[in-house]
Structure 1
Amino acid sequence: MGRGAYALARVAVIVRAPAGWLWWPGVLAAGVGVLVPGLTGRRIGVLAGAALFLIAAIAVFTVRRKRYLELARAASRAGKAVFLQDRAVTVRACRRALRWWLLPAFLAAVASSFAVPAAAGMLMAGAGAGLWGKALWLGRWERTNDVLLWVRPEWVARGRPAGKTVRAYQTTGIVAGDAGPGGARRGRAAPVAAR
């Protein structure tokens, strides 16, 4: 890992961060879409949207799970020199990378309702639900193994904490940092030590 101090970001927080930003605009776009009759009609649009929701949620939830597990099982213990990035800092960085295409995607989802009502919005919401489910899955793995998974943020390309640029994960004790297993905020103040 190289010498000297460096930062680590929580893997589950990186996965979870875009979930809400996909879910809520998706729900809003679907809601707007239901108000528009569209070319196919509302019933067909909503049924197509429900299918797209399930497909997106399952696809996002299952993609790269094998890679996540490989990195998690091979993770090394974080040293004392690391800085654990706050959850808010990680979320802000992830959402900053996401926002440049979120507005065009939302507008495209709303506009597509004139053809197939609500379908594209439900697709966005499904992607958000899949990310949220994956964060919960990571949280279960962390609780089972009594560790938290961390990654160097400079290795994470386009919000992908299991991408090709990620060389390894590191672990800390379950109480390290300010986010619990799965990346959610802790209910109370917690120690921030690496161990």
Structure 2
Amino acid sequence: MARAGRGVRGGQGLARVAVVVRAGAAPLWWSGVFAAGVGVLPSGITGRRIGVLAGAALFLVGAALVALTRRRRYTALAHGAARAGKHDVLQDRAVTVRNWRRGHRWWLLLAFAVALGSAFAIPAAGGMLLAGTGTGLRLKAAWLGRREKAGEQLLWLRVDWLDQRGGRPAGKAVRAFRGTGIAAGDAAPGGARRRTAVLV
């Protein structure tokens, strides 16, 4: 099965679900850590101690909400996943990550700016919340990876569906997942980089 961004001979371009979920984890985490580090400098309205405590609580809540949200939808789509066709084209992990981050770059910058600005009210809290959402995405991708290993099937979605409605991998535009063998593509279960790419 070939790997690229577009389908050929009637096939569809497919992107890994876990890679899409994981794509925002690193930029959210690192921008959140930076915003929290800078945000602890002003004393703000609440003071640093309260700000950091509030930030810790927001980190945990944000991580839990992001990690747990829409799991039922992912599960339903995974159960109904049809086998990918021989003419379907598997998109490289790096292409999927680059496309997602490029499409969401203004949202990421806005979230970073808001996190920095909030430090003048509640020091560090906005940055810690941002880092928590990145952690939640990593946890959700890991959960998907465990499902993929248990079912011995990697989950994919059509690239053209991903381009609709903000690029959400389990959004309304996504009507079904597709499945391949566990060794397909260049990303391991959960969306991490595979050390050795294997084509099937």
TM-score bucket (shorter structure): over 0.9
- Give TM-score scaled by structure 1 length: 0.95
Q: What is the rounded CA distance, in whole Å, between the counterparts of 1:7 and 1:153 in structure 2?
A: 6
Equivalent residue for 2:148?
142
Q: Does 1:191 align with 2:198?
A: yes
Equivalent residue for 2:181?
173
Q: Does 1:159 align with 2:167?
A: yes
Equivalent residue for 1:129?
135
Q: What is the rounded CA distance, in whole Å, between the counterparts of 1:113 and 1:100 in structure 2?
A: 20
Q: Does 1:67 align with 2:73?
A: yes
User: What aligned pairs does 1:1-195 form with structure 2 within 5 A after superposition?
Assistant: 4-156=10-162, 157-188=165-196, 190-193=197-200
Alignment check: 8 A CA contact 1:139 1:183 kept: yes
Q: What is the deviation of 1:104?
A: 2.1
Deviates more, 1:32-41 or 1:87-96: 32-41
Alignment check: 8 A CA contact 1:23 1:125 kept: yes
- Give TM-score scaled by structure 2 length: 0.92
Q: What is the deviation of 1:32?
A: 0.5
Q: What is the rounded CA distance, in whole Å, between the counterparts of 2:59 and 2:159 in structure 1?
A: 30
Residues matched between the structures, number: 190
Q: What is the rounded CA distance, in whole Å, between the counterparts of 1:147 and 1:32 in structure 2?
A: 43
Equivalent residue for 2:3?
none
One-letter code of the match for 1:167?
R
Q: What is the deviation of 1:28?
A: 0.3
Q: What is the deviation of 1:99?
A: 0.5
Q: What is the deviation of 1:159?
A: 2.6
Q: SS at the partner of 1:163?
A: coil
One-letter code of the match for 2:89?
F
Aligned identity (percent) is: 64
Q: What is the rounded CA distance, in whole Å, between the counterparts of 1:172 and 1:108 in structure 2?
A: 40
Q: What is the rounded CA distance, in whole Å, between the counterparts of 1:104 and 1:170 in structure 2?
A: 33
Alignment check: 8 A CA contact 1:16 1:131 kept: yes
One-letter code of the match for 1:93?
N
Q: What is the deviation of 1:49?
A: 0.5
- Structure 1 runs (4+) deviating above 3 angstroms are none
